[in-house]
Each structure stands twice: as C-alpha cells, then as structure tokens.
Amino acid sequence: MIFDDEPTPGEGLPILPGHVSPGRLERVLRAGKFAVTSEIDPPDSADPDEVFKRAAIFDGYVDAINATDGSGANCHMSSVGVCSLLTRRGYAMVMQISCRDRNRIAIQGEILGGAAMGVANIMCLTGDGVQAGDHPQAKPVFDLDSMSLLEIARAMRDEHRFQSGRKLDTPPRVFLGAAENPFAPPFDWRPHRLAKKVAAGAQFIQTQYCYDIPRLKIFMAQVRDLGLLEGPNRVFIMPGVGPLASAKSATWIREHVPGVHIPDSVIKRLAGAEKQKAEGRKLCIDLIQEIREIEGVSGVHVMAYRQEEAVAEIIQSSGVLEGRVPWYPGRDRQLLREAMEA
C-alpha cells in the first residue's frame, strides 16, 4: 500500500478527515485493511544500531512496531528512546506507556516528547507488577491506571490541556491504544471493561496472547453486541498472537507470565510434535488465519519474544497482508527495482 501523499521519512502523513493522527497504523485500520503490528525487543544497551537492527527484522511485514515500556517489569531501553530513534527513519511506532514507573507529571511530559519525536500511536497500559521483573525491590508507582491515562491523553489531544487544566500550545496528534485480556477472569466483565476503555478514549486494542479461539469468539460477539465496532468512535481490535518455542516453555509461560492463558490442548499439540519450535510457528500461523475469520477483527499483533526473526515468515505464510507491502525504509526503491527487473 503506497500513499500518494507519502512524506519524507521522519515526517508525519497529512491527517485525513476523520483521522486523529498523522500515522500509518490509523490509515491502514480506517481503510479497512487487515493490519499487522509487532513488538521490538528493546536492547539492554545504549547502542542505537542495535535498535535499527532489531527493527529491520520486520521490514515489509508490519504496519507499526510497538516499543515496550519495561515489559514484564524488566529494565530495558526506554520506549521513548526506541521510538525517537526509529521514527527518525520513518518507522511507524506504537509507544507503550505503563503506569508502573512514572507519575502523571512524567507521563504527560513523555506523551508530548514522544509526539514531538514523531510518535503517532500511544498505547496506554497499567503495566505488570514489579514482582514480575528483575527489580522486585522497586517502588511501584501506579499514580494513574490505564483508564485515567487514556482520559488524560485524550484530553491533551482533543482539549489541548494537561490534567491540571493548563493549556498546551500544540497538542499531541496521537491515535490511542489500550490492552485487553479476554482470557482472564472475570470473563463476563471483560467486554464491559473494554467499553469503559473506549469511553475513556481507546481507539485500538491489542490483546494479550490468544491461544483460545472459542473464548475470543465469545468476546468479539459481546463486543459487537455492545456496539463498540460501529460509528465514529469505534474501536479497532487486534488480537495478540505469538509462536511458542516448545511445550516446556509454554508450560513455563502459563505458570509464570501474568495473564497468559494457554489451554492444555495447545501444550499437547506442541508436545506431540517432532520439531516443537516449527510446530509452535505453525500453530501461530493457524491462529492468525482463524482470528482473521472472526467478524469484527481488524488485525493481529504478533509478539514473538526472542523469536522476532520468525515474524516475517509467520506473516508471509498466513497470507493476511494479501500482497500488501507495509512501508519500510527503502521500500519504494526496492519495489521500483523489482518492477524494472520484471
């Protein structure tokens, strides 16, 4: 997909009517294309080349890249740092902001800083508890929660003000995202909780890892019935998927990673396979194809932690891009070269 108003890398796209951001992700979703996002593994390093290398793995396969904010409460390069480096090359970033490590003063500053650096999408998260990470002795902040963060970010964008009421000169033009976990109790509340997030300002949702298609189908039907997928304030839902490396690692994740629900049948399928890693990727492709068939789904979010190199192959094999080549630095030169050779 090539936009005819394609900007110089590092600059935003013009904001179309009915859009809030100058970003590619919002364009793709509102155009009704099946969007694909993934997650960069932020380095434990101050080397910018490491960031470029890790982003280039996804070239041509994703519409936006999430930069995580101390995911799993582990220390890494900051999301605003990763985003600043990559937006300058033209990448579409989803900057994650978690409420665990900063109070409202720091967070609002970060929203402005990120937007100034070319971030067009912000993902508002509560964040994992500090007990989950490598610094369990740290002070958990949680001054805001994901909902109040969404409301504050929306007011900054739409009402041009901080939470204090003080005016902004230029608002952050950002498409606002949030997370949902349809696979964690209380199940009957989850769709209503999503409605609450939409009311607070969420425009797209990336879910926790989905390994339970029937549960996702029920959730999506409830979300549709609540009318959340219609109208100008509709929400775009991108279920999370990811390859499991082996039955053993799946069991470990199920027991140790908060909020990840992996049914026994998945673990059995992996355990029964000769090459478990390959089977894990195959399973991921199957999941993407099944998810795509569910009414109301707008895309997928591929989280391939420590298997980032597999994302291209997984998306390619799933066929969800339907020949579309999402933008990456140098794409248009590459496409031109291919056209001339053909």
Partner 1 sequence: MYAVRRWVVRHSRGFEMIYNAFEPVIARLDPLWRRIGYARAEGPVARVERAVKGFLFDCKMCGQCALSSTGMSCPMNCPKTLRNGPCGGVRANGHCEVKPEMKCVWAEAWAGSQHMKSGTKIHVVQKPVDNRFRDTSSWLRVVRQIAEKRAPQGEQK
The residues of the shown chain that bind partner 1, judged by CB under 8 A, are: 99-100, 104, 126-129, 131-132, 140, 142-148, 151-152, 163, 179-181, 184-186, 188-189, 192-193, 195-196, 199-200, 208, 258-259, 261
**Beta carbon nearer to partner 1, 86 or 150:** 150
CB of 186 to partner 1, least distance (A): 5
Quote the least distance from Cβ 122 to partner 1, whole Å.
Answer: 17
Give the shortest CB-104-to-partner 1 separation in angstroms: 7
Q: DSSP states of 32-60 as a string?
A: T--EEEEEE---SSS-HHHHHHHHHTTTT
Instruction: Please report how close the Cβ of residue 85 comes to partner 1 at its closest, in angstroms.
Output: 28
For partner 1, which is the closer residue by CB, 163 or 251?
A: 163
C-beta separation of 112 from 172 below 8 A: yes
Nearer to partner 1, 109 or 259 (CB): 259
- Residue 243 and residue 310: Cα distance in Å, rounded? 8
Measured from the CB atom, is 34 or 209 closer to partner 1? 209
Query: To which H or E segment does residue 271 belong?
Result: helix 264-271
Tally Cβ neighbours within 10 Å of residue 115: 25
- The values of phi and psi at residue 312, to 5°, are -55, -50
For partner 1, which is the closer residue by CB, 67 or 198? 198
Residue 167: strand pairing partners: 161
Could you tell me if 122 and 111 are in contact, meaning their C-beta atoms sit under 8 angstroms apart?
yes
**Which among 289, 249, 243, 240 has a CA at the least distance from the CA of 271?**
249
For partner 1, the closer of residues 156 and 200 by Cβ is 200
Pick 183 or 328: Cβ nearer partner 1 = 183
Closest to 302 (Cα-Cα) out of 323, 326, 274, 332: 326
Provide the minimum distance between the beta carbon of 227 and partner 1 in the complex, in angstroms, as a whole number.
Answer: 14
Decide if 209 contacts 241 (C-beta within 8 A).
Answer: yes
- Contact in structure between 119 and 95 (CB atoms under 8 Å): yes
Q: How far is the CB of 177 from partner 1 (least distance, A)?
A: 14
Count of Cβ atoms closer than 10 Å to residue 249 Cβ: 15
DSSP string, 113-166: HHHHTT--EEEEE----GGGSS-TTSPP--SS-HHHHHHHHHHHHHS-B-TTSP
Q: Which is nearer to partner 1, 89 or 193 (CB)?
A: 193
Looking at the Cβ atoms of 158 and 332, the one nearer to partner 1 is 158
Q: How far is CA 277 from CA 247, 250, 269, in A?
A: 9, 11, 12
From the CB of 206, what's the least distance to partner 1, in Å? Answer: 11
Q: CB of 147: closest distance to partner 1 in angstroms?
A: 4
Instruction: State the minimum distance, in angstroms, from the CB of residue 2 to partner 1.
Output: 36
Give yes or no for a contact between 18 and 24, defined as CB atoms under 8 angstroms apart. no
